[in-house]
Structure 1
C-alpha cells in the first residue's frame, strides 16, 4: 500500500487528537503517502507532521456542500488513486464518501466510537463507571484494520524543530525568567465551562504573583469581550483574541509553563506542544476517552459526584439544575494544582 486517505472533518478537539496517531503512523511507515481531508481552519495543526503527510481542505459550506458537493469531492479525490480510506469520523458525510470509494473497490475502515459504552457511562442511573478507550486508541484501531501496526510514540509537534518564537514576540514580549501561564476558560457547551466569576478569582490571584504573565485564550465576540475586560482589570494579563493565528497560538502554548483549560480544543492543542495541562472537568469525564495526549491524571481537576459524567460532550442540561460539578470546584483547588505543576517543572 502506497497511498492512504484519511477523513476527519470536526470538531476541532477531535481533529487535534488525530495528530499524535498520524505522526506515529508516518514515522513507522515512511514510504506511505498520507493525505488528510478536513476543514481549512484546521490546517495549521498538520503543518508540523512529517513531509509524507499532506492536507486537503474540504469546503463543506461551499463547493463540497450537500450530496452533489460531496460527490464532487469524491471525484476530486478519486483521481489521486488512493489504496485505502480511513474514516476517523463516521458521520453522514464520511459514510457517503466511504461508500463511494468502496464501490470503486477501494479498501475502507471506520472508527468504532463506542457509543453503547458511552451511553452506559453517562446514563443517570446504573452507570458502568470505568475508563473507556481513548480516541487515540480508537483512531489507531482504524489504521490497524487496514493492516498498519505501530506504537503510539509522540511528544510534541515541535519535537523535530523548535518552535519559532520570533513570530510571537511582538505580541507576547520576551519570556526571560518569567513564568507564563495560559488560561482557556471557555468550551462549546455550558456543562464544560468553569463559572466565570470563579475563574476570575483564579486570574486575580495569579496576576499578583511575581514574575508571572497570564495569557487568555478564546474566540468569538462574547469570549473576546470577557477576556478583554479581564486584561484591563488585572495586571500582567494579555487577552489573545485577534492577536495570534492558530499557528502562533501553538508556538505560544509550547512556551507556557502550564495551561489551565476546560475539556476543550485548547486542552488538546496545548497537549500537542508537550505543555502540561491542568484540565477542569464538569459534566464530562476523562473516562469518556477525551483527555489530552500524554497528560497526567494528577492534573485533572474534578468533583466526585455520582451523577458524573452525565454527558459525553457536555451539551445536556444539568439533571440537578445547579451544575454542582463545576461550582463545587474551589478556585483554591485550581491555584494549588498550578502551584504543584510549576514546582514540579522547576525541580
Structure 2
C-alpha cells in the first residue's frame, strides 16, 4: 500500500481545491492511504473531503506558529510518521511544508518552489503545467510528476457526515425548506464583497417570489454586514452567520435550491456538494478568473460583469430551470 502526504495549510477554498488531487491519487492508487496536514480552522474541510484517510491539524496561529512551532509539530508526529511516505505534495510550495515532508521521511517531494529548498524537490524547477491555469488542475499536475499518468479533471467532492445533517434539521426546525436560497456576501477581501444595496434588492425580490433567503458567513465582517442590513430595515431573511460548523454548512447547502455567493470558500463548498451555484467574481481580471473561476464540470454560472440584482436572479433561474 502506497502512502501519500498532502500538505496545505492555506485557507478554506484552497483546501477544497486540493481535493481533486486527492481523488486523482485514489483513481491511480485505489488502495493508497492519504494523510492531509491542514490549517487547523479548516480541519473539517479536509476530514470530509472525498479520498482523504487521515487529517492532521496544523495550528499555525497557535502552538505551531513560527519555526519553534514547526519543530514542535515535527516532534509531536515524528513517531507516528516514522515509516515515512512514498511521496508528499506540498501545495503552493510552502517552505515549512517542504521541510516537514523531508523530516517525515517522504521519499519524493513535489511542490512549486524556486528558493534554495528546490534542491529537496523531485520535480523540475519549472514544472510543465501544459498551459493549465486552474489552481485545482495545477495541484493535480504535481501528481503527474510522480505517477507519470495524465490527471483527470474531476470536481471537488465534500461529503458531510450524518451528524451534520441532523444538526441542520434542528437548525431549520419550523422553517419551510421548499425554496431555500443561500446567499454568501462576504469574503476575505472587501473589494470582492456584494454591495449592501444589491443584497437588499435580492432579499426583497426573493421574498416577493415566495423564496426563503438564508444569509451565510462567519466572523466579524459577516456579522457587521448583517448589522448593516438591519440598519437598512432589511430583516426578512434567515440569519445563519456564525451558526454552523463547516460540515453543517455543507449539509445545509444540500438543502438549498441554490447558492448565490461571492468568490470565497463557501462558493467552493457549494460546488463541492454539487448545489447549483451562482458565482460572483467582483475581481474579474483574466488572470484571476483563469486561476479561480470554476469550469464547466461544475453545476454553476459565473458572473463577471453585470452584478445587478436583476441579472443575478435571471442567471439563477436559468441555472435552476425545472428546480423551482
Q: TM-score, normalised by structure 2?
A: 0.81
Q: 1:290 aligns with which of 284, 289, 292?
A: 292
Q: How has the CA–CA distance of structure 1 residues 112 and 173 changed in structure 2, closer, same or farther, with 3 Å as cutoff?
A: farther
Residue number in structure 2 paired with 1:142: 142
**SS of the residue aligned with 1:151?**
coil
Q: How has the CA–CA distance of structure 1 residues 287 and 62 changed in structure 2, closer, same or farther, with 3 Å as cutoff?
A: closer
Residue number in structure 1 paired with 2:110: 109
The answer on 1:91 being equivalent to 2:94 is yes
TM-fit CA distance, 1:34: 0.8
Q: Do the aligned residues in 1 keep the contact of 2:215 with 2:238 (CA within 8 Å)?
A: yes
Residue number in structure 2 paired with 1:220: 219
> What stretches of structure 2 of length at least 5 have no aligned partner?
115-130
Q: Do the aligned residues in 1 keep the contact of 2:5 with 2:87 (CA within 8 Å)?
A: yes
Q: How has the CA–CA distance of structure 1 residues 94 and 16 changed in structure 2, closer, same or farther, with 3 Å as cutoff?
A: same
Q: 1:335 aligns with which of 307, 313, 317?
A: 313
**SS of the residue aligned with 1:41?**
helix
**SS of the residue aligned with 1:138?**
helix
**SS of the residue aligned with 1:329?**
coil
Residue number in structure 1 paired with 2:14: 14
Q: TM-score, normalised by structure 1?
A: 0.76
Q: How has the CA–CA distance of structure 1 residues 6 and 155 changed in structure 2, closer, same or farther, with 3 Å as cutoff?
A: closer
Q: How has the CA–CA distance of structure 1 residues 269 and 46 changed in structure 2, closer, same or farther, with 3 Å as cutoff?
A: same
Matched residues, number: 300
TM-fit CA distance, 1:98: 4.5
Q: Do the aligned residues in 2 keep the contact of 1:267 with 1:292 (CA within 8 Å)?
A: no
Show CA shifts across 1:272-292 (max 9, x none).
100111011122446332124
The CA RMSD measured in Å over matched residues stands at: 3.0
Residue number in structure 2 paired with 1:178: 178
Q: How has the CA–CA distance of structure 1 residues 139 and 271 changed in structure 2, closer, same or farther, with 3 Å as cutoff?
A: same
Q: Do the aligned residues in 1 keep the contact of 2:185 with 2:194 (CA within 8 Å)?
A: yes
Q: Do the aligned residues in 1 keep the contact of 2:86 with 2:106 (CA within 8 Å)?
A: no
Q: Do the aligned residues in 2 keep the contact of 1:192 with 1:284 (CA within 8 Å)?
A: no
Q: Do the aligned residues in 1 keep the contact of 2:39 with 2:58 (CA within 8 Å)?
A: yes
Q: Do the aligned residues in 2 keep the contact of 1:231 with 1:239 (CA within 8 Å)?
A: no
The answer on 1:82 being equivalent to 2:85 is yes
Q: Do the aligned residues in 2 keep the contact of 1:86 with 1:109 (CA within 8 Å)?
A: yes
> What stretches of structure 1 of length at least 5 have no aligned partner?
114-130, 304-327
Q: How has the CA–CA distance of structure 1 residues 174 and 134 changed in structure 2, closer, same or farther, with 3 Å as cutoff?
A: farther
Show CA shifts across 1:144-181 (max 9, x none).
2122645344474349x889632212222367672111
